[in-house]
Every structure is written in structure tokens, then in C-alpha cells.
Amino acid sequence: MQPVRIAPSILSADFSKLGDEVRAIDAAGADWIHIDVMDGHFVPNISFGPAVMKSVRGVTTKPFDVHLMISPVDAYLDAFAEAGADCITVHYEAGPHIHRSLQHIKSLGKRAGVVICPGTPAKMLDYLMDMVDLVLVMSVNPGFGGQSFIPSQLKKISAIRTMIEKSGRAIDLEVDGGVDAEWAKRCIEAGADALVAGTSVFRGGPNHYSANIAALRG
């Protein structure tokens, strides 16, 4: 396994000074910048689109880890690639042709990720492991920040870690939702090597970001 990577979700940032917030988490030790895109259709909330993401692309060289909670998704892949995404992650549940979506992301020269919601079993990834660079396990139902971690997802993380090892491929295993210092430890023990965190990173303001990120690393 790779060392754990921390990907703060800017969904929890102060949107009135988003560029400054991205600079602050970069300086505080973030490995990736997690971009949560919500459409008010696939999930019950709306966040932002590629134009907002592009507006902060120039303030950091850290990879943009873009999580598209939108359906249909295929029509928007080019726009997020052009706006500066490094990895584009799409939901297994968001459309009928997940292979087509992943193939398109790869054709754009981007890392391709697949997300599964809490109610989706690990076995749904069986025929995708040869295509993906990242698997994202949602440990809350997507659509809102600040939710509590669903403990049953630890078993799923362990199952997917086994699948990754059997695949022989270098696939990141990321977890998103309710990840605080305690749950971070348990996720890492279960096999996760990348953690998304919003509330627990941005709590307390910029002077606390470095300590918050360090706490997640354990």
C-alpha cells in the first residue's frame, strides 16, 4: 500500500475566499484537492461547476481530485477535464454505461475513478478493476457535508483492498464521508490509502488546517 493521501474537500471551505482557502490547505499539507460537484438531481444539493473549479486551478499545483455527483455525467466530462481535473471520478449508480464513461475519461488523458454509494456492494466493481485508477467508497450517502460515518463501509473497504491486491494494479482506494481522526485510523487499517475530509479539515480556520490534516494521517 502507498502512504495515505489526504484530500480536503473544498465543499467545506469558505466560498467567499475560495482561492485563499485552496492555498491554505495546500500549504497545510494536503496531497490532493477534492472537488465535490453536485447537481441537485443525482444528489439533493447543488455545489458548483467547471467554471468555479477552473477559477482556482491556478492557485495550486496539487492534483484536482474531481468527484462528479451528477447524472447524466458523460456530457460534462470534457468540461471538467478542460477546467483542470487530474482525476475524474464518476458514480457506478449515475448511469447505465459506466464503461463508456471510464473509457471517455481515459481518452481525455485523465485518471479515471469509480464511486460506489453505501448501499452498492463491492462486487459491482468486478468487471471494472482493469479500467480504474481509483475506487472511491462513499461512507455516507452523497449530497451533504457533515454526515456521520456509516460503520458497515469498513467491511467494504477491506473487500475492495483484497480486490485491488488480486488485480495486481496500482489502484488508489479512497474513502469519503464523515472521516475524522478516529474513523481515518479505522479506514487506513481496513485498507484505504486516500481520505477525503471536509468538516474535519476546515474546522477552526486556516491556523488549524495543518494540525487537522496531521490528525487524519495518524
Which of 116, 89, 87, 85 has the alpha carbon at shortest distance from 101?
89
Q: How far apart are CA 198 and CA 3, in angstroms?
A: 20
- Which one from 36, 133, 172, 193 is the annotated catalytic residue? 36
Q: How far apart are CA 146 and CA 138, in angstroms?
A: 13
- Which one from 31, 133, 176, 193 is the annotated catalytic residue? 176
**C-alpha cell read off for 166:** 488480486
What is the separation, in whole angstroms, between the first and last Cα of the chain? 16
Q: Is 74 an active-site residue?
A: no
Asked whether the beta carbons of 114 and 102 are under 8 A apart, the reply is yes
Q: Is 86 an active-site residue?
A: no
Which of 14, 12, 55, 54 has the alpha carbon at shortest distance from 36?
12
CB within 8 Å of 47: residues ≥ 6 apart: 11, 36, 37, 38
Asked whether the beta carbons of 125 and 135 are under 8 A apart, the reply is yes
Residues annotated as catalytic are: 36, 176
